Homo-oligomer: A and B are copies of this chain.
Amino acid sequence: MLREVSAGKRFMGRLPQGADLLEALTQACVAQGITAGEVRAIGALTKAVLGYYNQQNREYEYVTLGSHLEIVSLIGDVSLKDGRPFVHAHVSLGDERGQLWGGHLAPGSEIFACEVMIVQYQSAEPFERAFDEGTGLLLWPME
């Protein structure tokens, strides 16, 4: 279920303070024409919204964290959803005691500072998300 890809353009830089993290990552991919790839980031947030997929109810549940948090890790991929670049990222976040919180990066997470690396992937076939019956998620159909 793996597809060979080749590395295209690479980017390193910062995302703007005050922006929505998921939206800023998506906009960066749209601006650079990245339709497949990888993202990584570290930094800090002023608030966060985390998703947890309830595998039984097949619904995302959300946790909102109002405190200031370090982005201890952000790992994600870029692919197409409804024909447009879509960033799927998971984050772990550290509070002032060093305790970690994390999950699926949801809209509503606000950047304090964010250093990001993006690698574009080129592949023979596009990575396009579609409904997956086994999980109820939008995944890449590959056999």
Contacts and interface: CB of A to CB of B under 8 A. Distances in A.
Interface string A63-106: 10100101111111100000000001111101111111111100
Q: Is the interface of A mostly helix, strand, loop or mixed?
A: strand
A14 B140 CA distance: 7
Given A70-B90, A102-B70, A95 B52 contact: yes
Contacts of A3: 11-13
A49 to B, nearest CB: 10
Contacts of A61: 96
A98 B137 contact: no
Contact of A142 (B14, B54, B96, B139): B14
Contacts of A5: 10-12
A70 B104 contact: yes
B42 A76 contact: yes
Given A2-B32, A17-B134, A113-B137, 13 more contacts: A1-B15, A10-B121, A12-B36, A12-B121, A38-B117, A50-B98, A71-B90, A72-B73, A72-B91, A94-B102, A94-B103, A98-B101, A115-B140
